[in-house]
Chains A and B, each alone.
Chain A
Amino acid sequence: MADRAQPVSATSGNIVAAGVAAIIFGALLAVALRAETGRGLGASDWAALRFTILQAGLSALFSVALAIPVARALARRRFAGRRVLIAVLGAPFILPVIVAVLGLIMVFGRAGWLSQILGLAGLPPVQVYGLHGVVLAHVFFNLPLATRLILQGWQEIPGERFRLAAQLGADGWAMFRLIEWPMLRRVVPSILAVIFAICLTSFAVALTLGGGPRATTIELAIYQAFRFDFDLGRAAMLSAVQLGLTVIAGALALWLARGDGFGTGLDRVVRRWDGQAAMPRLLDGAVIALAAGFLLLPLLAMTLSGLPTLLSLPQQVFSAALTSVLVASISTVLLLAMALPMAAAIARGRGGMLELAGILGLAASPLVIGTGLFILIRPWSNPLAWALPVTALVNAITVLPFALRVLVPRARDVVARQGRLAVSLDMQGWPFLRHVLMPRLKAQIGFAAGLAAALSMGDLGVITLFADPDVATLPLQIYRLMGAYQMDSAAGAALLLLVLSFGAFWLLDRGGRAHAEA
């Protein structure tokens, strides 16, 4: 493609991407350079690698395969409470891991609700521990995100397409083949890659639900290298393997997702004429009900177990909550400052490298990044004083891949549709961003900011490496309560976290819900 005039410059996006890559590879290098010993990958590492790829691959496949019918049903149906449902379905994604796992166990565990119901019928309890348990938990975390992103893909199909298809008498299958399938082909690969990447670094979930050491992931091997063998070289090497896998998955996704979009429409509200018969309606209803049940029951279990102590929580929990809100706010600002220039640069058309840089944040082991940053900061300053800024920055980098998935498709359309007109009016750079791109990305920016705030609120991340007794975030305080036997208060604090994360997400995502009935 020959260079043509573009309304946005790629410079700032390139700088941000280079910065993200520099932080991740710099931290990795800092760890590698501090290595004293070091040995190659042993048999157990290869086993960990195989299990990691297997579980991450299956988790990504199942999350997306299940998200497609849910998103399709939500795209086709309009019902009371639909917006609330879409927003609430996002909740599992933003929960801290340990809390969500306990919630899942309360429903699907050996003594969970499901097992109790089975017990009434004289059946044995559910065997949730094993590879299927790991996949179940990862689907629980990632199905909502996949659904939201695919739903967004559906909403970005110009309404005219459906109108035309309906006029031409296209049936459900033709509608799927002609309009929906090309959209999915563009949207799904990158979602698969993002979920694959996030599951690559899974450790506590995989181990707990995997039922034993067979469920050893690379992240656990990294942990072992750090904490059991004190072998930084091996930790760095394993982390490099993680990054390599993610880059391969990301590149594959970009290659699969190539192809043109739907071109322009008139920004009309999307109306569907297909699927109005009784059977599709019933099916869509069942799909939505099942997904809602699967995602909401564990949340309900968590709420019920947290309610009794919510109002009597110790004061330290509330000050930790304030700290978390502060970290989440900084994180959100940082994220937008990184994601918007990158999305604008990618929207110009050839942003493959930028997208790959954006996905790195997910694959980088928090332990390696945290340790690397610790090594880098220490000669200059007391790392403890940097606990909150570093946590906020690392959280923002972690959310970046999701934010790009949210922002890029729409940004690409806007640049394609409005770019030429803007260039001909000599409206480029900041004025284009401010008057054309950002207003049209309002919904997506809200969604991305909501994700950033909520994820940052719930992420334990690197704070444990930098923890200062006086500066605890809420997730850290939950772990401290659990470590002090106070499981009941921990459940209350977890509910508080759920409410805060979800509240932040809800507030920022409001724009998203206003967008074309999303």
Chain B
Amino acid sequence: MKHLVFAAGFLSAATVAVAETPELTVYTYDSFVSDWGPGPQVEEAFEAVCDCDLNLVGIEDGAALLARMKLEGASSDADIVLGLDTNLIVAAKETGLFAEHGQSPKLDLPIEWNDPVFLPYDWGYFAFVHEADAEAPSNFKALAESDKKIVIQDPRSSTPGLGLMMWVKTAYGNEAPAIWEGLADNVVTVTKGWSEAYGLFLEGEADMVLSYTTSPAYHLIAEEDASKAAAAFDEGHYMQVEVAAKLAASDQPELADQFLAFMLSDTFQGIIPTTNWMYPAVTPEGGLPEGFETLVTPEKSLLLSPEEAASARDAALDEWLTGLSQ
């Protein structure tokens, strides 16, 4: 074990040195902290105004983030958790770890938002992305009847996969099992996460992949490639609203409040569209980046309340499993 102790000491030496300035620890998902995500810019911008050290910790995805909070409980180092969504809010509240944010911001969401604990920082619509020059079905029934091949994610291991499951459930209610049975022969495969599915789509394994309406914006803006489009479905699109909250046991409550306010400022919100590839919760003063105006805007926004989502989840999973195991 000597190797371990030695290596650990080696690694932690760097973190001990900066204990002087107050430190705000934000737990978030891994793609937020990655070099290509919003993390680096957010850290720089917040540290410029807070006179503190912003410590972003990346933990896989939203579900893993909540699992981690449950493990760590009140003794967690986290002051803020950023990156849960409406499917996780009820379970997160049940932990009793989170405190009310006490803010009343003006949000630009297509839906009402009054949650006293969780503040949205960005949102998006789930959608099937396809090659722009190919014809796309305009709803799930047309998709099921077509011979289009799709790649989707498993709701048990992936946030978009869970989103699709809730989408079908919200749009079709008791008809959802029939929709899944109809889709079974369109599904090429189900992947563990978004990356695998999107990778398979780009390799040409399927005509469409479950992603977001904002995905074509990445290809357009970052790669100047207009070849991808999202299919508009006339039953409406299910939304993902990503939220943050502060921990009741935080040892930096003022800094945490300052961060939540900063999170809805123009600076933070302006970073989101082209790093997280989602819509900002508050449209920054300069508007959305050029290219976002080309995106599909659904006529109807679907979203279950956190309570509805929590109670619909298990039955919807059974329907998903049964329908696709045909």
Instruction: Decide if A479 is an interface residue (CB 8 Å cutoff).
Output: yes
Residues of the A chain whose Cβ atoms lie less than 8 Å from the Cβ of B238:
none
Is A471 among interface residues, defined by CB-CB distance under 8 A? yes
Please determine whether B31 and A480 come into contact, CB atoms closer than 8 angstroms: yes
Interface presence of A165 (CB below 8 A): no
Q: Which of A330, A381, A468 has the largest count of B CB atoms less than 10 A from its CB? A: A468
Task: Determine the residue in chain B with the shortest Cβ distance to A327.
Answer: B7
Chain B residues closer than 8 Å to A482, beta-carbon distance? 195-196, 198-199
User: Does B200 contact A469, Cβ atoms closer than 8 Å?
Assistant: no
A374-B71, A389-B8 are known contacts. Are A212 and B187 too (CB-CB below 8 A)?
Answer: yes
Answer whether residue B18 sits at the interface, using C-beta atoms and an 8 A cutoff: no
Give the segment of A62-70, A192-200, A203-211, A413-421 that binds chain B.
A203-211
Interface flag for A220 (CB, 8 Å): yes
B35 at interface by CB-CB < 8 Å: yes
Q: Of residues B56, B149, B154, B321, which shows the largest number of chain A Cβ atoms within 10 Å of its Cβ?
A: B154
Q: Is A89 an interface residue (CB 8 A)?
A: no
Q: Is A422 an interface residue (CB 8 A)?
A: no
**Interchain CB contact under 8 A, A207 and B190:** yes
* B113-162 with Cβ < 8 A to chain A: 149, 154-157
- The answer to whether B189 touches A378 (Cβ under 8 A) is no
Q: A129 and B39: CB pair below 8 A?
A: no
Verify B205–A105 contact, CB threshold 8 A: yes
Give bound CA distance, A385 to B12, whole Å: 6
In Å, the complex CA distance between A485 and B195 comes to: 8
How far does the Cβ of B59 sit from chain A's closest Cβ, in whole Å? 7
Q: A383-400 CB contact bits vs B (8 Å, 1 = yes)?
A: 011111110110000000
A213 touches B199 (CB 8 A): no
Docked Cα-Cα span, A318 to B321, in Å, equals 41
Asked if A185 is at the interface (CB within 8 A of a chain B CB), the reply is: no
Return the contact of A212 from the options B7, B66, B198, B325 (Cβ within 8 A): B325
For A432, list chain B residues within 8 Å (CB). Answer: none
Given known A469-B39, A471-B11, contact A111–B205 (CB-CB < 8 A): yes
A34–B71 CA distance with the chains assembled, in angstroms: 8
- Say yes or no for A106: interface residue by CB 8 A criterion: yes
The answer to whether B190 and A110 have CB atoms under 8 Å apart is no
A207 to B157 alpha-carbon distance, docked (Å): 11
Interface centre among A34, A333, A374, A479 (most CB of B within 10 A): A479
Task: Tell me the bound Cα distance from A374 to B31 in angstroms.
Answer: 21
Q: How many angstroms from the CA of A228 to the CA of B310 in the assembled complex?
A: 11
Interface mask (B91-116 → A, CB under 8 Å = 1, otherwise 0): 10000000000000000000000000
Q: Are B34 and A480 in contact (CB under 8 A)?
A: yes
A374 to B67 Cα, complex, angstroms: 12
Decide if B31 touches A483 in the complex (CB within 8 Å): yes
Contact indicator A111/B58 (Cβ below 8 Å) = no
**Is A480's CB under 8 angstroms from B204's CB?**
no
Task: Find out whether the CB atom of A467 lies under 8 angstroms from the CB atom of B30.
Answer: yes
Query: Least Cβ distance of B199 to chain A in Å?
Result: 6
Which B residues, 23 to 50, have Cβ-Cβ distances below 8 Å to chain A? Answer: 30-31, 33-37, 39
- A467 to B39, alpha carbons, bound, how many Å? 14
Give complex CA distance A136, B222 in Å: 36
A382 within 8 A of B: yes
* Cβ contacts A452-483/B at 8 Å (1 or 0 each): 00000000000011011101000010011111
Total interface residues in chain B, CB < 8 Å: 62
**Are B196 and A485 in contact, with the CB atoms below 8 A?**
no
Quick check: B157 and A224 within 8 Å, CB to CB? yes
CB closest residue in chain B, given A317: B35
Given the known A-B contacts A111-B203, A220-B154, A389-B8, are A129 and B36 also in contact in the complex, defined by CB atoms under 8 Å? Answer: no
Chain A interface residue count, Cβ-Cβ cutoff 8 angstroms: 65
Tell me the residues in window 160-196 of chain B with beta carbons closer than 8 Å to chain A beta carbons: 184, 187-192, 194-196
In the bound complex, how far is the Cα of B199 from the Cα of A209, in angstroms?
14
**With the chains together, A227 CA to B61 CA distance in Å?**
10
Asked whether B67 lies within 8 Å of A230 as measured between CB atoms, the reply is yes
Distance A121 CA – B204 CA, assembled complex (angstroms): 20
Residue of B nearest to A378 (CB): B72
Contacts of B157 in A (CB 8 A): 220, 223-224, 227-228
Docked CA distance A177–B292 (Å): 71
User: How distant is the Cα of A214 from the Cα of B190 in the complex, in angstroms?
Assistant: 10
A382–B154 Cα distance when bound, in Å, is: 32
Which of A213, A374, A479 contacts B195 (CB under 8 A)?
Answer: A479
Cβ–Cβ contact A210 & B189, under 8 A: yes
A129 touches B57 (CB 8 A): no
Tell me the complex Cα distance, A469–B15, Å. 13
Q: List the B side residues contacting A316 at CB < 8 Å.
A: 35
User: Do the beta carbons of B202 and A487 come within 8 Å of each other?
Assistant: yes
A385 to B31, CA, bound (A): 20
A111-B204, A211-B189, A227-B64 known; A467-B218 Cβ under 8 A = no
The answer to whether B8 and A386 have CB atoms under 8 Å apart is yes
Contact yes or no, B154 A483, CB < 8 A: no
Q: Is A484 an interface residue (CB 8 A)?
A: yes
Question: Is A44's beta carbon under 8 Å from chain B?
Answer: yes
Output the residue of B11, B37, B184, B218 with the most chain A CB within 10 A. B11
- CB of B307 closer than 8 Å to a CB of A: no
**How far does the alpha carbon of A484 sit from the alpha carbon of B149 in the complex, in Å?**
24
Question: Interface readout for A359-378 with B: 1 if CB under 8 Å, 0 if not?
Answer: 00000000000010011001
Q: Which of A213, A314, A374, A467 has the most CB of B within 10 A?
A: A213
Chain A proximity of B189: nearest CB distance (Å): 5
For B30, give its contact among A334, A464, A486 (CB under 8 Å): A464
* Interface pair B321/A386, CB less than 8 Å apart: no
Q: Does A57 contact B (CB under 8 A)?
A: no
Inside 8 A of B56's CB, which chain A residues have their CB? 469
Q: A110, B35: Cβ atoms under 8 Å?
A: no
> Contacts A208-B196, A386-B8: A485 and B35 contacting too (C-beta < 8 A)?
no
Measured between C-beta atoms, what is the minimum distance from A316 to chain B in Å? 5
Tell me, rounded to whole Å, the shortest Cβ–Cβ distance linking B130 to chain A. Answer: 14
Docked Cα-Cα span, A223 to B154, in Å, equals: 11
Chain A residues within 8 Å of B279, by CB: none
Instruction: Convert B209-253 into 0s and 1s, putting 1 for each residue whose CB lies closer than 8 angstroms to a CB of A.
Output: 000000100110010000000000000000000000000000000
| B202 neighbours in A (Cβ, 8 Å) | 487
Chain B nearest CB from A114 CB (Å) reads 13
Bound-state CA distance A316–B195 (Å) is 19
Q: Would B191 and A207 count as touching, CB distance under 8 A?
A: yes
Residue of A nearest to B192 (CB): A204
The 3 closest A-B pairs by CB, nearest first: A111-B204, A484-B36, A482-B195
Query: Could you give 26 example pairs across A and B, Cβ below 8 Å?
Result: A44-B321, A98-B195, A105-B200, A110-B205, A111-B203, A203-B192, A207-B154, A212-B324, A213-B190, A213-B324, A213-B325, A220-B157, A223-B157, A227-B156, A227-B157, A228-B63, A330-B3, A382-B15, A386-B11, A465-B59, A465-B60, A469-B39, A483-B30, A484-B37, A485-B218, A485-B222
Contacts A220-B154, A482-B196 known; 14 new A-B pairs at CB < 8 A: A111-B204, A209-B189, A212-B190, A213-B321, A228-B155, A230-B70, A371-B71, A381-B8, A382-B15, A382-B77, A481-B36, A482-B199, A485-B215, A487-B198
